[in-house]
Each structure stands twice: as structure tokens, then as C-alpha cells.
Amino acid sequence: MASKQQDVKDLVERKYRHGFVTDIESDTLPPGIDEDVIRHISQVKGEPQFMLDWRLKAYRLWQDMQAPNWAKLKLEPIDYQAISYYSAPKKDENAPKSLDEVDPKLLETYDKLGIPLHERARLAGVAVDAVFDSVSVTTTFKDKLADAGVIFCSFSEAVKQHPELIERYLGTVVPQRDNFFAALNSAVFTDGSFVYVPKGVRCPMELSTYFRINAANTGQFERTLIIADEGSHVSYLEGCTAPQRDENQLHAAVVELIAEKDAEIKYSTVQNWYPGDENGRGGIYNFVTKRGDCRGDRSKISWTQVEAGSAITWKYPSCILRGAQSVGEFYSVAVTNNYQQADTGTKMIHIGPGTRSTIISKGISAGQAQNAYRGLVKMMPTAENARNYTQCDSLLMGNQCGAHTFPYMEIKNPSAIVEHEATTSKIADDQLFYCRQRGLSEEDAVNMIVNGFCKEVFRELPMEFAVEAQNLMNVSLEGAVG
């Protein structure tokens, strides 16, 4: 491990082999990273000076950092010089021209998931020209949001249109030096989403619908920044239940949420990246830094996630409960099948008095998969009368998989109350038999039991998505029993 990290460092420090000759017109950089690469990215995107400085600072910090020590994870070392850090969106000549050319297996999966017809083409990677026009829908959404004063656009656009907001908020929740992947992301991110909800505004729609229709491939280093100003409210949904194709093995996104006084942000994720085949080959490494800052009094940030895809998932959506009486919530379902590994959980940092947090984590493992919950609840000396409730339930299917729970607590204020409950269960043969005796097939019985197990989390999802999430469970666990 140590020597491997040394290799990476050597590579990083070596000047880019072929010199730097790429001119600004070219749309893909050769693999490798150095300061010139970062200047190039910033330049192509037409960024102001402060952004470039910010990226360079991140890059310099990253160079001195070490990849984390993979607690419970097994993975091949990543060669950061083999990644190409910029590639402009381009037309794929080999992309299918219409749904008729798409792998029927994939279409069957969409069907099982209940993905709306108009979204299937885009998800299957059908060439953009061939996807029928969703522009009118988009415009309607845009108008409605603009009327409410909500800014919702790509990160690049926000850097151009609202640099003052970016400069004020970017990196204030996840600073560049936060961790190895956050630093890398800060240096090289190419795009992502930006949301600003002004004072007192209740965002008139789930930002999901709009997002799903428009989600362009934002690449492997995505950056999201959501700001809910005083007394505002927004619900944002990231991802999609459909299996997404992606060539990039490493995904290192950063998401920052800021809730001012009395504001509320609800952030839901459904993650279904390619998990690799049943022997554990291929698959995406998903290392995401997500953090919410409850900056104002009585603010609230709620994370809900359904993690089904990726070969390796490593993420801990967290809340910093700074404002008095602010509230943090984390609801998670993580499913692992075959050789998937998930190490996920949350951190609740209680700073303000009267802050409250709730953690509900449901881990499901099947096949040879490993599923770990890792959570930290920290009560700072200032967190007078703070409370936390944590519940971690694991469900095992078969006896080759594993579930692990690592709840950490740091209590520095004696008035704080922390409760923790953990259970591990198996789908009992008796439960299966009971359902089958009522006429349900074995597969339906398993699905029903699993969905029952996840109910407390699913009910936190936006309505139309809860159904898809249930179906996703079913598809992810296909063949797990029997």
C-alpha cells in the first residue's frame, strides 16, 4: 500500500511526459494531471480568476495527500495519471440511433423499474438528435422556477452568471483539503448542478423531474452546490434508478448543501451505477463527499439515499448542525449483491444547542457482498441538550455475505442524549414459507419482505420515486435467493 502510494506520488510529481501542447480548441485532454491541465480546464470553461486560483490551491493540497486507507474495502489501486481530466461533450458515433437498436435486456430492466417512456431513450444513450424533444417541458419548468426566483442551472453556468454566489459559498462546507477525493474533485471538476432558493421561497417543484430530463453526462468529477436562503425550502433528487452506462471507473463527486435560518433542504439520491458482473469484474468506484451545513437556527437538512449500484461505494453524507435547534436526518438503504462492497453511513456534528439528528440505516447484503455502516455522532461542548437517535438494521440473504456496523460517538457535552439501536436479521425461512403459503412466488415473497424492511426509508423519498426505488430493490436482488 505504502509503495503504491509512493508510485502515485511519483507520477503526480513527474512533469507531463509529452509536454503540454494541446491547444484550447481540442476537446479531450490526454490522460494525466498537472497544473497545466487544471489551467486548461479553467480556461476552456471561461472561468474567472478566483476559480482558477481555487482549483490550483486544491491541486497543491491534493499532491500532499494520501489516498484513504480502505477500512473494509478491497480494491485495485487507482492510477490517477491514466485518467483524462477533461473531455468536452461530444457526439458518440457508435451510440444507438433509436430505441430499436438498444439491447433488449436493458429495455426489459427499464420496464421492470417503471422508468417513464420519455426518459428511456436518453438513459440508454440514444444519440441526442434522435431523442424526441423534451425542450418544451424543460422550458415550462424553467419559467416556473424563474417566477419563484429559484436559480437552478449547471455549475458552469452558475460560475458565469452568479460568480458572487459561487465565490461566497463554494468550498465553505467541503473545503479543498477535506479529503483526498474532495481535493481532487476541487481541482478538476468539470460540471455539476447549482441551486439557489431565495429567502422565504418554497421551491414550487421537486427539482428531480427537471433534473432527470436534463441530466447530461456530467462526468466523473461532479460538483453540486445547493443554497437554501432564510426560510426557504427545496427538495432535490439526484440520480436515477435506471442502470447507467459509464466508461469512467472512478467517480468522485462533491455535494455541498447550505441551509440558512429556518431553511430546509431535502436531498434524495438513488444510485445505480454499473456494479460489475457477478464475478466482481468491472464496475464503478463511487467515492463521494456529501455534506450539509445547517448554518442558521432551526434549519434542517435531510439526506435520503438508496444505494444499489457501483462495485464500491464509499460515502458518508453528513450534517454540521451549527444553528440552534437545527435538525439533521439521514435515511439510507444500501443493497449489495454478488461482489459489491458498500461502506456508507453518516456524520452528525452537533455544535448548536438543542440540535437533533436521526439516523436510519438499512443494509441488505446478498451473494458474497459486504455492507458496512460507519457513523459518527459528535456532540461538541456547545451542543447543550442535543439529541441523536440512530437505528441500524442489517438484512442478510444467504450466508456468504457480511454486514458490519461501526457506530462512533464522541460526546463532549453531558446534557446530550444519544440512543443507538442495531439489529441483524436474516430473511427467515418461516417468513418466506408464510408468504408462499399465501400464494406468492418465492421471488415476490423476497421482494415483499425486503421492501417491508426498507419501508422507513422509502417513505422519505419523493412519491413518484418511491415506487421506482422498490422496483430497483427487486431488480438488484434478482437471483439472490433460491
Q: Is 449 in the site for other proteins (CB under 8 A)?
A: yes
Whole-number minimum distance, CB 68 to other proteins, in Å?
35
Whole-number minimum distance, CB 396 to other proteins, in Å?
15
Q: Is 426 in the site for other proteins (CB under 8 A)?
A: no
Q: Is 391 in the site for other proteins (CB under 8 A)?
A: no
Q: Which of 135, 428, 464, 479 binds other proteins (CB under 8 A)?
A: 428
Q: Is 114 in the site for other proteins (CB under 8 A)?
A: no
Q: Is 438 in the site for other proteins (CB under 8 A)?
A: yes
Complex with other proteins: residue 358 or 431, whichever CB lies closer: 431
Q: Which of 92, 103, 111, 444 binds other proteins (CB under 8 A)?
A: 444
Q: Is 442 in the site for other proteins (CB under 8 A)?
A: yes
Stretch that binds other proteins, among 108-116, 323-331, 428-436, 465-473 (CB under 8 A): 428-436
Whole-number minimum distance, CB 449 to other proteins, in Å?
6
Identify residues 450-479 at the interface with other proteins (CB under 8 A). Answer: 451-456
Q: Is 439 in the site for other proteins (CB under 8 A)?
A: yes
Rounded to an integer, what distance in angstroms lies between the CA atom of residue 339 and that of residue 108? 23
Complex with other proteins: residue 187 or 454, whichever CB lies closer: 454
Q: Is 433 in the site for other proteins (CB under 8 A)?
A: yes
* Number of residues lying near other proteins (CB under 8 A): 24
Q: Is 440 in the site for other proteins (CB under 8 A)?
A: yes
Residues that bind other proteins (CB under 8 A): 428-431, 433-442, 444-445, 448-449, 451-456
